[in-house]
Chain A
Amino acid sequence: MTRGMSFRGRATRVVLIGALSVWAIIAIGPIIWVYYSSFKTNAQIVSNIWALPHPWVLGNWITVLTSAVNSVPFITNIMNTLIVGIPAVIVVILAGSLAGFALARFRFAGAQAFQLFLLLLLPVPQFAVMVPVWSYMHTLGLTNSRLGLFLVYAAFNLALAITLMRGFFSNFPSDILEAALLDGCTEWYAFWRIVVPLSVGPMVTVGILTFSSVWNEFLFAVSLIQDPSKMTVQPALAALSAGATGQLTFGWAQQFSALAITTIIPVILFLVFQNRIFRAVTLQVQN
């Protein structure tokens, strides 16, 4: 009886792990395929699209980064994303922490309305704000401008940052704050000298999430910027791809290299910070 049970247990386990492995192959197979294919020559890819590189060639990444693919080298697009993204991350962390702290700790008129506004913003699809945002930025003369894209990214990533920081600050130990205020600190001073140094962890989480979102962003980038020299990573990648027409504007090897370069940053960020990201995701839901 027990032996039968354990055999059945083992059998279910084998089936289970088999099924999981199938999905694991579907889930990461394509990613691995892209990475090793980026080390093949065009001829190798054309002769066999799924074989491993033989021999491995290392030049494709450099070619994509430095030679003009869509009239500018890919490194320019990466720089554009960084020029837009790094200031956006900093602004989102600072503004999100300040507002999150205020929502968690102060009572003020309109706090409820402000939170309702953040909640209502959530279900509105990004493509439904794309045209209004374009119309507005166009009126301000901020289309085709990295400054304009930075402002849009900072504003549209703020809601999540505020929500996450508010969640964190509402569990912030009160006695530390009270002690500081009793010592005669202003709230402003206490925030910067006492709260911020103790909140580096959540601020880093917000920074990682914001940076990933900016790095991966496509819709605002493709609608607000037409000038190839100001284009960020994702629209440049899309322009370089075969797309619906099936015609590659550049070689296969370069296509795979561009994919590998574009994906490696979010993948590394995730692998390094996965526990932090899992925690943020679960926390966000509980709020």
Chain B
Amino acid sequence: MSTVHRRLHSDLINSDRSSPGPGSKTKQGTMQHHGRILFLLPSLLLLGGFVVIPLGLGIGLAFFQWNGLGAATFVGFNNFITAISDPEFWHSAEITLWYVLGTTVGCNLLGLSLALALFTKFRGWKVFRTLFYLSGVMPIVATGITWGLIFNPGDGLLNAFLGAIGLRQFEGLWLASPHLALPLIIFVGIWIGVGLPMILFSAGLMRISPALLETAELDGASGVKRIWYVTLPLLKPVMIVTTLMLLISSIQVFATVWVMTGGGPGYATYVLGIYLYNTAFEYNRFGYANAMSVIIAVVAGLSMMVALKLGRVMEPS
């Protein structure tokens, strides 16, 4: 409805009726048209020159073997075939998937709980909201280094603290442990990402009519029941949005792993971003790295479309 409205408006604005001066009707029309290209030109140049062309080149290079310096050799679909049978690629895809699942679920649950708690509007809730969002605005490199210092097995903050309060037996290897490294990196991912879903759930809660909640209360629904049967179903559209945004942002994971574990110990936190970086800039296999980039971009794009479709199917209920 609103788009139709907007169209009508812009038609009105752009129609010849709006350009006075009877003699120069056509001339003014063309002038306006030239003006319009100027509006889009800077963006088209930037996006074309530094997004579309590089991505096109990347797709092209995916069919070549190239060490980043010399000439590239055409190898057809070889790079793609290599990727499919490359255990390291599948391993990093699996690690990334665990990370994506862990942070998406974790951020949604924690963000929803925080939003519900803030919604009681106790004195000072806005201060808490600010504090909870703050972790998300920190540079990710700085966040990773800070948590790295906390979970450092040697002289990190956590072990020092446990020792000081007499819980030496709980001191751990943390990031140096192959079992704990990935869960800890997921925890840091939640620490970084929880602010956004919290804000969106808060905004969603504000839009729920208070009358509805009052009716439920009068009907004798307890706090928990009210949340489960009234609030949560109404927050479903918000949850679809937060889930999409969290999926998009969590698959990006790179800097935290880079500064906290470098992908280790062993390959315990070897996410796709790290593998791609190493393939290109450590092993100088640029053609192969481009091919993996294409696969990842296509899979990400397709998953997005599927997720949007799923979201649309689920939304009407």
Q: Report if A and B associate in a common complex.
A: yes
Q: Which residues of A line the B interface, CB within 8 A? A: 12-13, 16-17, 19-20, 23-24, 26-28, 30-31, 33-34, 46, 48-50, 91, 94-96, 98-99, 101-102, 104-108, 117, 120-139, 151-152, 154-156, 158-159, 162, 170, 174, 177-178, 181-182, 184, 186-188, 191, 212, 215-216, 218-219, 222-223, 233-235, 237-238, 241-246, 255, 259, 262-263, 266-267, 269-271, 274, 278, 281-282, 285
Q: Determine how close the nearest CB of chain A comes to the CB of B298; give it in whole angstroms.
A: 9
Quick check: B160 and A50 within 8 Å, CB to CB?
yes
For residue A181, which residue of chain B has the nearest CB? B18
A235 to B259, CA, bound (A): 10
Quick check: B35 and A123 within 8 Å, CB to CB?
no
- Chain B hits for A178, CB < 8 A: 12-13, 18
A120 to B280, CA, bound (A): 25
Assuming A107-B11, A125-B251, A237-B145, is B260 touching A244 (CB within 8 A)? yes
For residue A261, which residue of chain B has the nearest CB? B142
Quick check: A241 and B145 within 8 Å, CB to CB?
yes
Quick check: A132 and B6 within 8 Å, CB to CB?
no
For residue B113, which residue of chain A has the nearest CB? A19
Quick one: which of B146, B154, B160 has the most chain A CB within 10 A? B146
Quick check: B139 and A27 within 8 Å, CB to CB?
no
A80 to B163, CA, bound (A): 42
Q: Determine how close the nearest CB of chain B comes to the CB of A35; give it in whole angstroms.
A: 11
Assuming A13-B122, A125-B296, A135-B286, is B150 touching A30 (CB within 8 A)? yes
- Chain B hits for A104, CB < 8 A: 6
A257 to B129, CA, bound (A): 27
Q: Is the CB of B134 closer than 8 A to any CB of chain A?
A: yes
Assuming A151-B46, A216-B139, A282-B200, is B301 touching A102 (CB within 8 A)? no
Considering only residues 123-144 of chain B, those with a C-beta below 8 Å from chain A are 128, 130-135, 137-142
- Chain A hits for B247, CB < 8 A: 123
Binds A, one of B54-62, B83-91, B208-216, B225-233: B54-62
A244 to B248, CA, bound (A): 26
Please list 29 pairs of residues, one from A and one from B, whose beta carbons are closer than 8 Å in the complex, sorted by A's number. A20-B117, A23-B114, A34-B142, A49-B156, A95-B43, A107-B10, A123-B251, A123-B300, A127-B277, A127-B293, A127-B296, A128-B276, A128-B296, A132-B58, A132-B290, A133-B58, A151-B50, A186-B32, A187-B32, A219-B273, A223-B280, A223-B281, A235-B141, A241-B145, A244-B262, A244-B263, A255-B149, A274-B130, A281-B196
Q: Is the CB of B289 closer than 8 A to any CB of chain A?
A: yes
A278 to B115, CA, bound (A): 14
For residue A138, which residue of chain B has the nearest CB? B68
Q: Determine how close the nearest CB of chain A comes to the CB of B229; give it in whole angstroms.
A: 18
Considering only residues 91-117 of chain B, those with a C-beta below 8 Å from chain A are 110, 114, 117
Quick check: B131 and A28 within 8 Å, CB to CB?
yes
A123 to B141, CA, bound (A): 22
Quick check: B277 and A223 within 8 Å, CB to CB?
yes
Extra pairs beyond A102-B36, A151-B49 (14, CB < 8 Å): A23-B114, A95-B42, A122-B304, A123-B248, A123-B300, A125-B297, A131-B276, A132-B57, A133-B54, A182-B18, A187-B39, A244-B259, A246-B152, A259-B145
- Chain B hits for A127, CB < 8 A: 252, 254, 272-273, 276-277, 293, 296
Quick check: B13 and A181 within 8 Å, CB to CB?
yes
- Chain A hits for B133, CB < 8 A: 270, 274, 278
- Chain B hits for A267, CB < 8 A: 134, 137-138
Quick check: B134 and A123 within 8 Å, CB to CB?
no
Quick one: which of A46, A105, A128, A222 has the most chain B CB within 10 A? A128
A189 to B272, CA, bound (A): 48
Q: Determine how close the nearest CB of chain B comes to the CB of A242; give it in whole angstroms.
A: 7
Quick check: B138 and A219 within 8 Å, CB to CB?
no
- Chain B hits for A184, CB < 8 A: 19-21
Assuming A24-B131, A106-B10, is B36 touching A259 (CB within 8 A)? no
Quick check: B42 and A188 within 8 Å, CB to CB?
no
A170 to B281, CA, bound (A): 44
A222 to B59, CA, bound (A): 22
Considering only residues 1-38 of chain B, those with a C-beta below 8 Å from chain A are 2, 6-7, 9-14, 18-21, 31-32, 35-36, 38
Q: Is the CB of B191 closer than 8 A to any CB of chain A?
A: yes
- Chain B hits for A107, CB < 8 A: 7, 10-11, 14
For residue B59, which residue of chain A has the nearest CB? A132
Quick check: A50 and B157 within 8 Å, CB to CB?
yes
Q: Determine how close the nearest CB of chain A comes to the CB of B215; give it in whole angstroms.
A: 19
User: A23: which of B132, B155, B248, B260 is its contact (CB, 8 Å)?
Assistant: B132
Q: Is the CB of B267 closer than 8 A to any CB of chain A?
A: no
- Chain B hits for A174, CB < 8 A: 9, 12-13
* A-B complex: 3 closest residue pairs judged by Cβ atoms: A132-B58, A244-B262, A155-B50
Q: Is the CB of B203 closer than 8 A to any CB of chain A?
A: yes
A255 to B286, CA, bound (A): 34
Assuming A26-B191, A132-B290, A282-B200, is B252 touching A125 (CB within 8 A)? yes
Q: Determine how close the nearest CB of chain A comes to the CB of B233; give it in whole angstroms.
A: 19
Quick check: A120 and B137 within 8 Å, CB to CB?
no
User: B55: which of A98, A129, A177, A181 is its contact (CB, 8 Å)?
Assistant: A129
- Chain B hits for A16, CB < 8 A: 117, 120, 122
